[in-house]
Chain A
Amino acid sequence: MIKKLGLVILSLTLLIGGCAEQKLLEKIGLITLAGYDLNEDGKVVTTAVIRQVDPEFQSMVTTSSAVNDSSLGALTEINRKTTKKLMQGQMRITLFGETLATEGIGSFLNTLSKNSSTSSGILLAMTAGNAKELLEYPYKNINDVGQEIYKLIEQNVDAELVTSSTLHEVSQDYYSVGRDMIIPIIERKEEVIEVTGVALFNKDKLVGQLPAKDSFYLLLIRGKFKSGKFETTIPGDIFSSNQSDSSEPVPVVLDTISSTKKLKLTDKNVPEFELQINLNGRILELDAEMDFDNPVEIEKLEKAINQSLTEELKSILDYCQEINSDVFGLGKQYRSQVRNSKLTHESWHAKYPTAKVNIKINFKILRSGVFE
């Protein structure tokens, strides 16, 4: 009896097994990139980069776009134009047009996070201007736009030139109180695509932009900074041995070996913060004569670098406060240090513009390069 029952269950499960939805690799079109824009009527324009495989054409990449009220609705629209069923599982990048970002991308983050077939490791980026235009431009040297943009951003994230903007990290900022999200901005310059800056958000709306070189300072405050290279300028008159005209600023290229960051709330009423950053680094390039064996000289140089870094940080902080985007996570620190603060996004952003941050930077030169 039990054996018979087992047999019935086995045969039933095998029959039901046929009901599992098959997604045969060669029968689906893979969306590798999706770009979202907002048109004049307030509708979403979705542009998808689709990779399809056909025995005759081998592998080919096409872009296709549709207009609809919602992002998933537009996908269905695009599906009507393709021979293969479109799937999002291999999507690596989602782009947002500038107008859409200004309106808010919260609902898109929500949809992406809920989609079980897309990983939380997909990268987000904003296009300067329209995403559709950037994607549909007939590039001469780029075969697969989706792959190209993915590699571009991934490489820059690995080199610590821009902040990592995976869906996981961005939605963490979006859903938690006290830190606003940032995503990189890409732009088409003639035939190439490049990372041009960082988009700063207040909740889910674009409020400001910073040039790409400033993303170093954002990285420095937001998290651990390990291997990035950065450039700053110091006044030329600190070098005693410098014969050339000393008033011009001198560029220095530095390379950090390690950094530690300490953020502390010192006064919760203002609120006032103390930001202490210790950096160990080496000098890669210095456009001036300098005696590196002299500790006094080095101390002078360190001081000058500290000074310039502090000034730059200060100006970025001021800008962020002006546009009311707390990308540094001051609110997080406030929330963790003030008991029963019951901080909400609104209440924090009422305080944030008037917050005071005392910046202390301690840069140490460990190495000055080796002559061969």
Chain B
Amino acid sequence: MSNKFFKNMFKKKESKQQAQSDSSSLKNKSINNHSHDKKLISPDKAKFISLIEKESNNPSDLKTKFITEDYTLFYIENLVDSRVLNKHILPVVLKNPNSSPSELKFQLQIPEANMTENLELAILELFSGAALIHKNGYPTVLLAKINTRESRSLSAPENESQVIGSQVGFNESLSTNESLVRRYIRTPDLYIKKLTVGKISNTTVSILYLKSIASEEMVQTLQQRITDLKIDALLDSSFLAEMIDDNSLSPFPQMLLTERPDRFCDGLLNGKLGILVDGSSMAVICPHSFIEFFQSREDQNLRWPIASFLRLLRFSAVFLSIFLTPLYVAALTFHYEVIPQSLLVPLSESRALVPFPPIIEALLLELIIELLREAGARLPTKVGQTIGIVGGIVIGTAAVQAGITSNILIIIVALSALASFTTPSYMMGNVIRAIRFPIIILAGFWGFYGIMLGFCFLLIHLIKQSSLGTPYTAPFYPPRWVDWRDSIIRLPLPLTNLRPTSSRAKKRKKYEEEPIDPEKS
């Protein structure tokens, strides 16, 4: 018995080591990705020019400049910083017409300059904003990375606003986003791994994690999933998140999309992995459990009883949002017995004028609310607000007066729509609103039995899901009692010193207490 146990332990260790060696080989692979069937750079000037023009399909914004007799400069207009080009590259090349490219590399006063023999890499860099400097007779080319990128300035996150806390959000530039994270977590421990995704778009994707905390195996898995992607283009991180989810078919997101750097860093500090995608203002955090979608970063900034109260409010709002309208439909269609006597008269009086059965009435009103929301989201902000208010009042009042719906249902539908907006994650809020519809239909067919059926189905589905291999419904199932302290409530900080079990962090404790010096005391 004990023998077996030890054997298993050794096996585990071995597999871990293997995983580590795997990771290093993978790293090499990603670096040498472009050197498979190398096309080499021609030392001859004329030959090289024609080669470049052929490989890049000679676009109209490709500029070729002959600096001296031997030196030729290639760049894509608008992708390079022309100020740097004119001030720091051209004068240097002109001053040292006889030095080799490798000597020139050290004289250039720009942050990054590389030598390469690989033509494909050179072309790729050319299109991501590098200037190629070629000298006649040399088989290498100097890559001066002087790319410029127009990007939006940092602004407050629009979809995830919070009252207390930092008011900065990610923007579309990968380097800005990385620097934002670095500003929150200033440690060499923060590890950034770069990958390229997309056959056509060649988008840079960074995996961020804290090396001493995050689980190696998880990094492995994530990296594997991203490198295995066979797609032509990656335009947004939400697309990436859906592609690498454990179950892409589920309506429930299994990775968190956030535009808040503080929420992102919070995840990293808990031992999770972060993904930043160039050109996307949304960062991905994984693994993420179901319950964590309803926690806001702001909860950490408020005092614990208030934070707990707000969390409880949010969780009850979820239940309210999913089950309130179905309960109304079921009670009025099948279970008149459960209606409290004081509510019976107003309810039946307002229902008496309505010509439809409750299920049609409820679906109609829910549809109107969804239409209003969708119209508000698609229209420009100012118009959208007006439409929302006017539409709400006009349709709401008119529908009751026309006798299409009962006024109690209007309250219920408005309440459940409002409740669904309390979810801090937009993606999850949408799901909560959408899954109400099948449950309403079930309630209309089978009453409470149908609601229970829908609830069971939902529960089974949720329990089945996983996020990067970790259970989706943790800490409730499987029960992780310690993690309950920071789940639907938030206990004081000293009690929530542990990182969540599901992130499989190497260090369980967030901070160790310093040992007291016995001599001093």
Binding site for B on A (CB under 8 A): 14, 17-18, 20-26, 28, 30, 32, 51, 53-55, 58-59, 87, 89-90, 92, 117-119, 147, 150
Contacts and interface: CB of A to CB of B under 8 A. Distances in A.
B333 A23 contact: yes
B357 A24 contact: yes
A53 B352 contact: yes
Contacts of B138: none
Given A18-B445, A90-B341, A53 B333 contact: no
Interface string B327-349: 00000111111010100110111
Given A90-B344, A92-B341, 17 more contacts: A17-B445, A17-B446, A17-B450, A18-B445, A20-B446, A23-B335, A23-B336, A24-B358, A25-B336, A25-B347, A25-B351, A28-B336, A30-B336, A53-B345, A53-B351, A58-B349, A89-B336
5 closest A-B pairs by CB: A89-B337, A17-B445, A53-B348, A26-B351, A55-B352
Nearest to B347: A25
Interface in B160-196: none
A25 B339 contact: yes
B353 interface: yes
B447 interface: yes
Interface in B347-381: 347-349, 351-354, 357-358
A9 B351 CA distance: 34
Interface of B: 332-337, 339, 341, 344-345, 347-349, 351-354, 357-358, 445-447, 450
A119 B337 contact: yes
A214 B349 CA distance: 43
Nearest to A55: B352
B445 A20 contact: yes
Contacts of A150: 341
A92 to B, nearest CB: 7
Contacts of A18: 445
A24 B333 contact: yes
B345 A59 contact: yes
A24 B357 CA distance: 8
Contact of A59 (B348, B357, B446): B348
A117 B447 contact: no
Given A22-B334, A90-B336, A90-B337, A14 B445 contact: yes
A351 B339 CA distance: 47
A21 B345 CA distance: 23
B445 to A, nearest CB: 3
A117 B334 CA distance: 11
14 contacts: A14-B445, A20-B334, A20-B446, A24-B333, A25-B348, A26-B348, A26-B351, A30-B336, A59-B349, A87-B336, A90-B336, A90-B337, A117-B337, A147-B341
Contacts of A117: 337
* Residue with the greatest number of chain B CB neighbours at <10 A, chosen from A25, A51, A58, A90: A25
Contacts of A53: 345, 348-349, 351-352
A351 B337 CA distance: 44
A208 B341 CA distance: 34
Contacts of B334: 20-23
A118 B333 CA distance: 17
A238 to B, nearest CB: 50
B378 to A, nearest CB: 33
Contacts of B352: 26, 53-55, 58
A295 B354 CA distance: 72
B231 to A, nearest CB: 27
A99 B176 CA distance: 91
A21 B336 CA distance: 12
A130 B489 CA distance: 59
A184 to B, nearest CB: 20
Nearest to B332: A25
Contacts of A55: 352-353
A54 B344 CA distance: 13
A14 B353 CA distance: 28
A61 to B, nearest CB: 10
* Residue with the greatest number of chain B CB neighbours at <10 A, chosen from A53, A87, A147: A53
Contacts of B332: 24-25
A26 to B, nearest CB: 5
Contacts of B357: 22, 24
* Residue with the greatest number of chain A CB neighbours at <10 A, chosen from B341, B347, B353, B357: B341
A316 B353 CA distance: 56
Contacts of B349: 53, 58-59
A261 B263 CA distance: 62
A371 to B, nearest CB: 41
A28 B336 CA distance: 9
* Residue with the greatest number of chain B CB neighbours at <10 A, chosen from A32, A87, A89: A89
Contacts of B339: 25, 90
Contacts of A90: 336-337, 339, 341, 344
* Residue with the greatest number of chain B CB neighbours at <10 A, chosen from A20, A51, A92: A20
* Residue with the greatest number of chain A CB neighbours at <10 A, chosen from B336, B353, B357: B336
Contacts of A14: 445
A25 B340 CA distance: 13
Contacts of A28: 336
B331 to A, nearest CB: 8
Nearest to B444: A17
Contacts of B353: 55
A53 B347 CA distance: 10
A133 to B, nearest CB: 25
B348 to A, nearest CB: 4
A119 B336 CA distance: 12
Nearest to A14: B445
B103 to A, nearest CB: 68
A208 B443 CA distance: 50
A51 B336 CA distance: 13
Nearest to B449: A20
Contacts of A22: 333-334, 357
Nearest to B344: A90
Nearest to B333: A22
A28 B347 CA distance: 13
Contacts of A92: 341
Contacts of B450: 17
A90 B358 CA distance: 19
Contacts of B348: 25-26, 53, 59
A20 B447 contact: yes
A119 B339 CA distance: 12
A118 B336 CA distance: 11
Nearest to B337: A89
Contacts of B445: 14, 17-18, 20
Contacts of B351: 25-26, 53
* Residue with the greatest number of chain B CB neighbours at <10 A, chosen from A32, A55, A118, A119: A55
A123 B332 CA distance: 24
